[in-house]
Amino acid sequence: MRKIRKNDTVKILTGRDAGSVGKVLSVLDKGRRVTVEKCQIVKRHTKPSAQHRTGGIVDVEAPIAISNVALVQSDGQLARVGFRYEDAEGGRRRKVRYSLKNEQVFD
């Protein structure tokens, strides 16, 4: 289980996009890098292909180290994430992510 997952809202802490908030598009490299929507935009030179009919220079989001982003809670505050087990229906236990600051569960 990862601390930051796809579709989480995160805030960029360092780099040229520091302070911007966006949604995680993907988690790469076994959870060490994330791609954030509309952040870390780079120019990519592409050849014509099936996906890009015309070649040229395309703007794409580049991955950011996961240590440079922080999860944003529903109230807008940044959160450090922890894990714990909670009881679920059927007598099973379920592993959930929660905020270490105010015990809010993210799942």
| Percentage, residues of the chain above pLDDT 70 | 100
3-state secondary structure 30-94: HHCEEEECCCCEEEEEECCCCCCCCCEEEEEECCEEHHHEEEECCCCCEECEEEEEEECHHHCEE
pTM of the model: 0.87
- What is the torsion angle, in degrees rounded to the nearest 10, for the CA atoms of residue 84, residue 104, residue 36 and residue 28? 0
Predicted confidence band of residue 51 (pLDDT cuts 50, 70, 90) = confident
Q: What size, in residues, is the chain?
A: 107
Q: How far apart are CA 70 and CA 80, in angstroms?
A: 7
User: Residue 21's pLDDT is what?
Assistant: 97
Find how far residue 12's CA is from the centre of its chain: 10
Domains and CATH numbers, the chain: 9-79 (2.30.30.30)
User: Residue 5's pLDDT is what?
Assistant: 94
User: Residue 63's pLDDT is what?
Assistant: 97
pLDDT tens-place string over residues 82-94: 999 999 888 899 9
Answer whether residue 1 shows pLDDT above 80: no
Asked if residue 45 lies in contact with residue 54, where contact means CB atoms within 8 angstroms, the answer is: no
Q: Which two tokens stand for residue 47?
A: 């050849």
pLDDT tens-place string over residues 34-46: 999 999 999 999 9
